[in-house]
A and B are shown apart, each in its own frame.
Chain A
Amino acid sequence: MKKIFNSSIILIVLISACTKKVEEIQPIDRITPDLVYTSAARAEAAVVGAYDGLQSAEFLSGRALIYADLLGDDVIDFNGFFGDFPKYNMLANNGIAANMWTAGYNAIARANRAIAGIKPSVVGEDKAKKLIAECKFVRALAHFYLVNFYAQGYTFTADASHPGIPYVTQSYATNDPAGNIPRGTVKENYDAIIKDFTEALADLPLTQSSIALTKTRGTKAAAASLLSRVYLYKEDWTNAKTIAGRVIAGEFGNFSLNAIPEKVFGPGNYTTSETIFSIPNSVNDNPNTNNALPQHYAELGRGDLTVSQLFRNAATNPYFLSNDRRRDSLIAKNTKTANAGNFYTRKYPDVATRADWAPIIRYAEVLLNYAEASARMAAGVDADAVAKLNLVRNRSLADPATQAYTVASFATKQDLINAILAERRIELAFEGHRYFDLKRTKQSFVRIDADRTTQITATYGSDKYILPIPQTEVDKSDGVLKQNKGY
């Protein structure tokens, strides 16, 4: 009997000892949320985490820019890598559309979580304002790209009352039903984006702690420049001209164009005075072999995307002069016999380390934004617009003396606008603009398929002119998110 009793005692003692050991197991490679926002350094790291969300391989580190060109007429999907995506006939469950949606909202959520967590008592009043402004900057930028992919253009309806995207400004820690937000109208989206950028502009710094960070984190110049683009897409010419003018005047820092157009691309050129905001990449942190810009665009990478003949030929792109510098410096012929007849862009050459930065906005665009807004506001041919246009264009001319524009070059105001739009097409080619510019100017167009011959038609305003909301998201929202018509 004693033996049984003794054995039982031993067992009971062992049970309690073991249960304690179970509670001791904690993860060793992660930080609990309460530790994050009670430290100033970590709170700022959470804000940098929001930029890291933009840097997702499916979003602004390259792919989002590629999609905007792939959907336009200047790029051919030569290897068929993107499948149905550029054929204006994709299905509602298209994986590319689904991945970009998820990546965009993930970045937005990171920004919202940081806004909710930052406490002025921990980081200081001023710093708190600055960090919150950076989060609003990230939030607005992500929403802006998303609304331009998943909804029709601003002017599709008279008052932009057609469906846009859900605009998320709260942070959620659990599966909160309040997170099931319906689509706002495009007008509501743009108003929210402008509000976020404007509020950010007030509190963002002029520079960050290093040159590299100044070009890759929110600054007043970045917010103002992006605002000029937002107003331009909205056709609010007055505000576009005003804010672009402030950037040009040097209110947010001194920016200037490089003497030659190619000087803003490639290793070593990421932080020139022409760059305003880019998403950085590095050798160990980049979208990798299947998603990086140099992988898709450079022949020696995967060589998936080639320059369409519609971009290079005078018949379809008459403003691209035959001796324009950019023909040689930024477009290359094939080097492998298998690719005979193909042309590739030189803008993203770093195949070896895939560290090409993704140019979101640069000074040349601000000048063109200003020029276009000014040209559209004026009654006749606007000299100020011509001057800004020339700043961008002249550095690419073989012979500026004879080839530069003057006010007399344009018969009507519309001729000037066409020239500016054409210059925009050439200067900002392969930087994620073409589809957006075609859409906001309500153009139907033709693009070339992988066999370099077949034409694919994109009709402005048609159902498949825009991307589908990912079908799984529509399913999960249980009726709150409405799918785009035709999908």
Chain B
Amino acid sequence: MLGLVCIYTQLLAQNRTISGKIKDDKGSAIPNASVIIQGTNNGTATGSDGSFSLSVPANSKILIISSVGMETRQVTIGNQSSFDIVLQPADQSMTEVVVGYTTINKRAVSGSVAKIGSADIENRPVMSFDQALTGKAAGVQINTSSGLVGDNVIIRIRGAASLSNSSQPLIVIDGTPMVQGNVGQLYNPANALSDLNPNDIESVEVLKDASASAIYGSRASGGVILISTKKGKAGTTKVNYDGYYGYTQPATMMSVLKANDYTTVINKMRSNAGLGDVIKSGDFNGDGQPDETDWQDETYHNGPTQSHNLSLSGGTNRMSFYGSVSYLDFSNYIINNRLRRASSRLNATIKATDWLTFGLNTQYSRGYQYGIGSGTGGAASGVPLGPLRYYPNVPVRDTNGNFYLAQGNNLLTVGIIPNPVAPLLGNFDNYDTRRFIASGYLEAQIMKGLKFKSQYGVDYRAGYDDQWWSPDFGDGQGLGGVAQNVDDENRNWNWFNTLSYNKRIGTKHDLSALAGIEYTKRMSHYVYISGIGIKDPSLALITTSNYNSVSADEGFGENALASYFGNLTYTFLNRYILTGNFRADAYSGFGKNNLTGYFPSGSIAWRISDESFFENLKKTVTDLKLRGSYGITGNQNIGNYTAFASYASVSYAELAGASALNLNNPGNANLKWERTGQLDIGADIGLFNRVTINADYYEKKTKDLVLANPVLATLGFPNNSITQNIGQIETKGFEMGVTSDNLKNKTVTWTTSFNFAYNKNKVTGTNTTNTDLFGGNSIARVGQPLGAYYLIRWAGVNPQTGWAMFYDATGNIKMYNPSIATASQRWTDEKGTTVVSAITSADRVVLSDKTPYPKYYGGMSNTFTFKGFDMSFDLQYSFGAWIYNQTLSGLMGYTSVTNKSTEIFDAWTSTGQVTDVPKLYWNDNQWSQTSTRWLEKGDFVRLRNIQVGYNIPRTIISRAKINTLRVYGQIQNAYTFTQYKGIDPEANANGNTNIGLGIDNNRPYLPRTITFGLSLGL
């Protein structure tokens, strides 16, 4: 009995109780932090107020305090009984990178990967998140082709990767490939990526070289963009509200003539040609004044914009979640053009047992796009062609308040262009979409170092496009009113299984391996109905009783991809890294003979800064890694059934007893992948622990380009083209990204990040006879840069005579004088004495130094904080691209009475005048023909975003139990410095093409959006 007491007392004497509070760097308590005695299992967890109490043996030395998301701390116990410990947040966010199917530490990356964080994406007033990525990553060029809601956003990583197939990168969200691209069904484009709420995005990784992207093999030659959405973290639940209000206006405006100048100029054109006046003013709205309308003013307004986002995130050690709801209402500056989107997201990660984790990422969103009622861009009823070209001397409405549709007192008409306001208010093209994106995975730790992951994902979008053309004006007029509805859906589903293995052998060798299989299926389907010739316009549905004719059509497409892939990484001494990737893909769209493609890649990296000989330099050069990679990636964006020869049924006027068939695809059984071999040499450098530099030099050779090879019309193939693997292009470039913490102290911080890319490409082969390929005003010719312009050269206006001059192919000047009666004598030499042959398209030359692709491009952003204030500005720059200004050439024609640009005031009037606009002369259709006259430099520096914000001090808001509150104002697309005279140097009329880029043909101006908002965190 005594013995027991003695032992008991002895035990008691060896333990004592310690207690304390664990707080974070902001002073908030950390609940559920673990407090453990080092080397034992003896520990406890903090309570909700951050306090703990633990009985520790007397010889305990060190306490380890850890919490998820915080840096673990070791505290010497010593003689203390009471502890107040502060934990610093662990900056995980920028040290881990998602590469393919795994996440690895940035220091171990041996390929070229750029990462863009959520701070650059959230709360930007853009219609879809890809517009916010502009200028943020070296070598990634993002071009928003116009200010129309839903217009194509063209993404090029390291230049174009193809000639006729898409060069867009593959976009993957949380492991599931997304439906991307233009999903517009009728006359308005729609961006499939706009269904994503930008505030849900945690980070975007861009995989640029072959080593990083080859794990995606056959779809990666345009690069890969990986989106990771926000996941919860263990700790207190965070509630955030972000909202902003603002308005949108056109960023620039081209100026056209006012009514009285218009009358003067057109009539002068006529009188110079000896003809009578055709423009006369009138008063058709009964206000007693001659009619005068600024159509751009009438069709544009300040569009109100608002966005609200509420998110909830939190978790415990075993479970974390992130949920959000958001609403965006973006009214464009064009009347009635608008995008509304509501989205909700729920992400959850559940650690069911120590070895089994489940994850779920789901999103449901609903979008409603109000498109422009009648065609877009260059269509006669569209914007901005209508507002730019319509007669300025007629009113919007007549005395009865109806749209004024006639030609006023003008003797000639503007042809088929209707009153520009009428189609905007009277027609509509509304697209209602629903998007469900979800992925679920399970991850099992089978044994130490071996993990199995299986993930199933879907991207399901469905839309309903409801369109109407009124019979009173514009496109619906000749048809008696047209309604068209399209019900379409896309379904992607994807399933992959991976086994990953990590092993440390001894102390020097690290091995990690990944093996996986994947199956992706994509399907699209649409049903289209139209009604032509409406009987009662007040009845909204398309029924056979209300329309003269109702017709329907259906379409379907699907493709499947089955792959297996693997990755092996070997690291020696933690500073020599060797990686190999391999992927094999079978794709249903390829010819029977070539279903499967193989894509290997390898890379090496050497972290020089960890070498012993580098010890002395480590103070300045805190990190230095050299890397190189080579690999093969592919492109399979060729369409679902391109390789199949087929006949389809056609109609011969629906005659009874006469069914008809026609060859609609000549097919190609040998059609296979496009392959890009890419070499990349790069360095990642850290200086002074505050500057990081990433630099890469790369060379890409793409061959077996799938081309819709334009063939002679005499072969009689549909579209005069046949699909073959024939082309080759070569790209070389250099890119660099620099991030610098210039100033970092308690009151002021200043960080700059800057990126720069230089890119040059060359077409090295087209088809078997190396013939030229044409697109837009450009050419793909062997030995020339891709998309080099191919135009007749302008030689200016002759100061003596005022007539236009051009160079022929050999460099001689030819002048066109429209005042000569006989057409065949109008072309003369510069003096006007000798008659010469006309300038024809044979006089076009390839302008090798002028392409629509920029030579140098990138961005820069600066962020300043001063006490509670913060200010940032982003800018984007591009030099070396050339744009063909077709908008302006259409506003300078002498053959019609459409309105003209104010540039026409420069028209030649007196002998000796030096100008670039020839004498006004009616019916001169030669001077404004396609030529270098309209080719302009597209250099620009754009102030993409300016933001000023203020964090309201803790002391004020904590009374309302608010954790953080920031108010801010921002301007998106504040100003563009450029000499380009057209719509915008990024304007692009031909959508996502490779050869025919760079034509500015009446695309709507880019918008400038000014917003004021607040971010509130509880």
Contact = CB atoms under 8 A, between A and B. Distances in A.
B446 A55 contact: no
Nearest to A103: B713
Nearest to A80: B415
Contacts of B842: 92, 483
List 4 tightest A-B contacts by C-beta distance, closest first.
A109-B716, A18-B562, A30-B646, A280-B653
B517 A295 contact: no
Interface stretch (B548-556, B602-610, B853-861, B900-908): B548-556
Given A22-B586, A23-B595, A81-B416, A93 B841 contact: yes
Contact of B712 (A28, A53, A476): A476
Interface in A268-308: 280-286, 289, 295, 301-302
Nearest to A30: B646
Given A11-B499, A15-B564, A33-B645, A46 B841 contact: no
Nearest to B645: A33
Interface in B440-480: 446-447, 450, 452, 475, 478-480
A159 interface: no
A482 to B, nearest CB: 11
Contact of B722 (A175, A462, A472): A175
Interface string A16-58: 0011011111111111110110000110011011011101000
A168 interface: yes
Interface stretch (B341-349, B504-512, B619-627, B768-776): B768-776
Interface stretch (A82-90, A199-207, A323-331): A82-90
A475 B480 CA distance: 42
B661 A49 contact: yes
Contact of B646 (A31, A101, A107): A31
Interface string B387-411: 0000000000000000000110001
Interface string A76-111: 000111001001110111000000011001111110
A281 B499 CA distance: 62
Contact of A175 (B478, B558, B645, B709): B709
A27 B641 contact: yes
Interface of B: 275, 278, 406-407, 411-413, 415-416, 446-447, 450, 452, 475, 478-480, 497, 499, 515-517, 519, 521, 533, 548-549, 551, 555-562, 564, 586-588, 595-596, 640-641, 644-666, 668, 709-718, 720, 722, 724, 767, 769, 771-772, 774, 822-824, 837-838, 840-842, 895-896, 923, 925, 929-930
B655 A280 contact: yes
B562 A28 contact: no
Contact of A46 (B475, B640, B644, B661): B661
A49 B658 CA distance: 9
A288 B713 CA distance: 23
Interface size on A, as a range, is: 35 or more
A26 B336 CA distance: 42
Contact of A281 (B645, B653, B838): B653
A481 B521 CA distance: 46
Given A106-B716, A176-B715, A473-B712, 15 more contacts: A7-B446, A21-B521, A22-B586, A53-B662, A92-B842, A102-B720, A106-B718, A168-B714, A179-B711, A284-B551, A284-B651, A449-B923, A463-B824, A464-B823, A478-B771
A112 B588 CA distance: 31
A289 B548 CA distance: 14
A106 B499 contact: no
Nearest to A476: B712
A33 B446 contact: no
A176 B687 CA distance: 61
B770 to A, nearest CB: 10
B651 A52 contact: yes
Contacts of A30: 641, 644, 646-648, 664-665
20 contacts: A11-B516, A19-B562, A21-B560, A23-B588, A23-B595, A33-B663, A48-B659, A106-B713, A109-B715, A174-B722, A175-B724, A216-B655, A282-B655, A283-B548, A283-B549, A289-B479, A450-B412, A451-B412, A464-B824, A472-B710
A110 B840 contact: no
Contacts of A173: 645, 666
A25 B408 CA distance: 59
A284 B724 contact: no
A245 interface: no
A15 B653 contact: no
B560 A25 contact: yes
Nearest to A166: B714
Contacts of B411: 451
A49 B559 contact: no
A14 B446 CA distance: 19
A15 B518 CA distance: 8
A188 to B, nearest CB: 15
Contacts of A481: 712
Given A176-B715, A284-B551, A478-B769, A352 B533 contact: yes
A161 interface: no
Contacts of B654: 282-285
Contacts of A110: 662-663, 716
A451 B475 CA distance: 24
Contacts of B896: 80
Contacts of A284: 549, 551, 651, 654
Contacts of A113: 663, 716
Nearest to B668: A174
B415 A81 contact: yes
Contacts of B663: 33, 110, 113
